[in-house]
Structure 1
Amino acid sequence: MHLPNKIWLPDLVGKGYREFWNFRGRYNVCKGGRGSKKSKTTALRWIYLMMKYPLANLLVIRKTGKTLRDSCFTDLKWAICRFQVEALWEWKESPLEMTYLPTGQKILFRGLDDPLKITSITVAHGVLCWAWLEEAYEVLNEKDFDTLDESIRGRLPEGLFKQWVITFNPWNAQHWLKRRFFDVQSPDILATTTNYLCNEWLDEHDLQLFEEMKRSRPERYRVAGLGDWGAVEGVIFNNWTVADLQPLIPGFANVYNGLDFGVSDPNALIRFDFEPGQKKIYVFDEYFQGGISLEQLAAEVKRRVGGAYVTCDSAGSQQILELCRMGVRAIPAKKGAGSIQYGIQWLQGYDILVDKRCTNFIREISNYQWQKDAYGNTTDIPCGTDDHLLDALRYASEPVQHGGVTAGIRI
């Protein structure tokens, strides 16, 4: 291994991940809460192992390829800098790729837009024996993972091992990941749970946020703080299923669009087709992105909806005016007293079919719950966190909730 100075790994990696770091079986699976340093630790481990094993290559995967640059790619660059070995690595962004210069080993990055294309990946030097699936909860179809799994195959040189590292937040206890990796025992599987309590690099302010979450939002704290599986009791919507809606989109004739604005939170655009005679709602498209300008948001909305109306959060009146100036047909939601409860009740009256690519919406609707009072009793107020696309869905459905058809424009 080429390191400029001797490095004491515990000083760089910290505590809480010894078993994860040393495991050599095929499936190294780690679920964790916010701030659990699972992604940073995974990135450090991969850079360390790449420099230790000169014939190994790594494939890094997320559901959507464009999300890799600002997540895994950035974390791996951070790990290289943390080890102070920048001079030994080269990286490029088009396409995303990293090369360990002393040997020519590669770290390749792919999105799960077409899992069959991933299975044909080859490397020029050594073997492709490792893979990292980040935010694995986004992969809703277990068969897609089975196809991915086939990309790590073949005879290995002596001393190497095949391994998947699978990292995710445990938003939904119904996800296939729980059944496949956490509800079984196998020498090929290490399934661990970590949380912010093992992250010694969180400051006092970070810890205070978790303590406040523990006090005011105990259910969220259990999942986002402690890394437990998301609760399924008390969910608001149980009238939804995941499907592949792409073949149906050309026939959608009553499409509605909703937009929830974000500043620190993401902007959330949702699109659905409404079939009153069938009592069905088809959620077929989402856009979920923060940290962008209004110009960028307008361009994305126009690209997706064309000249159709978009019902927006009326609290963003200035944003609505600006979007209109930029050519978006933005209209404010009526909202008003009781509109949240009425909108939820209206949506509960329909079968909601969600396209499997709408992973953020699926995460939200899986975990959308009623608040509980101080005595643990369920109220009629939703928790109001991680609900941006659901809010957008309520805004989009306002015209049909009240019998209007203004926004229903064929795409």
Structure 2
Amino acid sequence: MTISQRVIAVSSVKLTELIAPSFYTIHRDVKALGHTHYWLKGGRGSTKSSFVSIEIIMGMMTDPQANAVCMRKVGLYLKESVYEQLVWAIEKLGVSHLWEERLSPLGLIYRPTGQRILFRGADKPKKIKSTKVSKGYIKYLWYEELDEFDGMEEVRTINQSLIRGGDSFVVFYSYNPPKSARSWVNAEVIEQRPDRLIHQSTYLSVPPQWLGQQFYIEAEHLKATKPEAYEHEYLGKVTGTGGEVFINLQIQEISDEEIKAFDHIKRGLDFGYAVDPLHYTVCHHNKGKRRLYIFGEIHKVALSTTEAVRLIKAENRLNQRITADSEEPRTIATMKAEGLYIVPAKKGPDSVEHGIKYLQDLEAIIIDPVRCPNTAREFSGYEYEPDKDGGFKADYPDKDNHSIDAVRYAIEDEIIRRGVRLG
């Protein structure tokens, strides 16, 4: 079968009958190889898995070198999820006669060329690492229910094993966002990268006849009785667990024009210890509107004092005041000797609690996720620890809070004016 014959085979069905309108733009992007990594998050009935299955089947039938590997965290669930979803796509595209379905081992084979779709569970990592194809290369990867995987390190390890030997790759990550911002998958999408496209979808853009009347009855009932559960389950929103320390966050880009107008810029520094990172922050405190804009950071582990000074000087060209953690007087003295205008933070009883309460009382904490991905991640994921009774402990956790400490130091003068000391 020639390439033109392949195209005819997969174009005889209207894609508008298979792909919901919210996916039209991303379909064109995949076709143009606009990105490598496609993070598809959404609620129930958003048809994101249907979209991925259509893209993989169509893509393989128009590229004779392309193979695919589809994954779940637990291999036991492959047959009833991604495998059946891909069989659905083959049938809807009207090309069942061109594909061979195998159950043992689980697989799909494109008869004209022998291209293969393989299925793997991350609970057996050796099988993933040893995955090979005899013809072409693995162009498509699909992580279904991404949030079930153990974290980005596991995903990177798998990608490093499979993304090799080809000219272009398409990796799909489909998932329903967990409630908590602390979840690794929610934290990961805060950090933007040029080869990643993040897409949000809901059932509201899907033709109603695709889902059926009962689906909408259930959704409306939950919306009326438990609106927060509805937002999480059907709209795919990160609604939180109820233990978030900061409910006044706005994670959004801050433009160069806005930054040029900032006239109350503050800088703070939290030193790293052992495996903990050094964190330097730059923010603007609009006291009139009670808003804090965080638009600059340095966040690195094992950073030498000399290198830290160099990086800070590159940002703080006018050598304006920096307030640092007073627990490191020798480091502060060294940085002073190297030319920084740096002073120790003033500490006092209950200073952490007072500083965090000051931040909580602000109208908004606006964090630029592009300029400050680590700050956005830490603030978003900072939650009270759960207690044994299903509630939350009153104390503030002393972990993953380096940016929070640096911000407290940066605005210590404002906090002290309210009659508390910072620590």
Change (3 A) 1:217 1:234: farther
What is the aligned counterpart of 1:47 among 29, 52, 57? 57
Q: Is the 8 A contact 1:57 1:129 kept in 2?
A: yes
1:220 is aligned to 229
- Summarize deviations over 1:66-110 as a string: whole Å, max 9, x none: 100000000000110001111000011111100000111000000
Q: Please tell me the residue identity of whatever aligns with 2:39.
A: V
Say whether 1:74 aligns with 2:84. Answer: yes
Q: Aligned equivalents of 1:146 and 1:186: distance in 2?
A: 15
2:107 is aligned to 97
What is the aligned counterpart of 1:84 among 94, 107, 129? 94
What is the aligned counterpart of 2:177 among 144, 162, 170? 170
Q: Unpaired runs of 5+ in structure 1?
A: 236-343, 351-411
Q: Aligned equivalents of 2:79 and 2:181: distance in 1?
A: 28
1:6 is aligned to 12
Change (3 A) 1:192 1:73: same
Q: Deviation at 1:345?
A: 5.4
> Normalising by structure 2, what TM-score?
0.53
Change (3 A) 1:121 1:345: closer
1:139 is aligned to 149
Q: Please tell me the residue identity of whatever aligns with 2:219.
A: F
User: What percentage of residue pairs aligned between the two structures are identical?
Assistant: 32
Q: Please tell me the residue identity of whatever aligns with 2:138.
A: L
- SS of the aligned residue for 1:190 comes to strand
Q: Aligned equivalents of 2:13 and 2:134: distance in 1?
A: 30
Q: Is the 8 A contact 1:36 1:196 kept in 2?
A: yes
Say whether 1:198 aligns with 2:205. Answer: yes
Structure 1 stretches of 4+ with a deviation exceeding 6 A read: 347-350
Q: Aligned equivalents of 1:198 and 1:349: distance in 2?
A: 37
Alignment size in residue pairs:
238
- SS of the aligned residue for 1:174 comes to coil
- Summarize deviations over 1:303-346 as a string: whole Å, max 9, x none: xxxxxxxxxxxxxxxxxxxxxxxxxxxxxxxxxxxxxxxxx955
Q: Which has the larger radius of gyration?
A: 2
Q: Aligned equivalents of 2:10 and 2:243: distance in 1?
A: 54
Q: Is the 8 A contact 2:20 2:47 kept in 1?
A: no
1:32 is aligned to 42
Q: Aligned equivalents of 1:72 and 1:29: distance in 2?
A: 16
Q: Is the 8 A contact 1:115 1:147 kept in 2?
A: no
Q: What RMSD in Å do the two structures reach over aligned CA positions?
A: 2.2
Q: Aligned equivalents of 1:40 and 1:349: distance in 2?
A: 39
Change (3 A) 1:48 1:231: same
- Summarize deviations over 1:26-63 as a string: whole Å, max 9, x none: 21010110111111111111111111111100000000
Q: Unpaired runs of 5+ in structure 2?
A: 1-5, 245-386, 394-423
Q: Aligned equivalents of 1:152 and 1:19: distance in 2?
A: 27
Q: Is the 8 A contact 2:39 2:173 kept in 1?
A: yes
Q: Please tell me the residue identity of whatever aligns with 1:97.
A: G
Q: Is the 8 A contact 1:140 1:175 kept in 2?
A: no
Q: Aligned equivalents of 1:26 and 1:349: distance in 2?
A: 40
- SS of the aligned residue for 1:3 comes to helix
What is the aligned counterpart of 2:196 among 183, 186, 189? 189
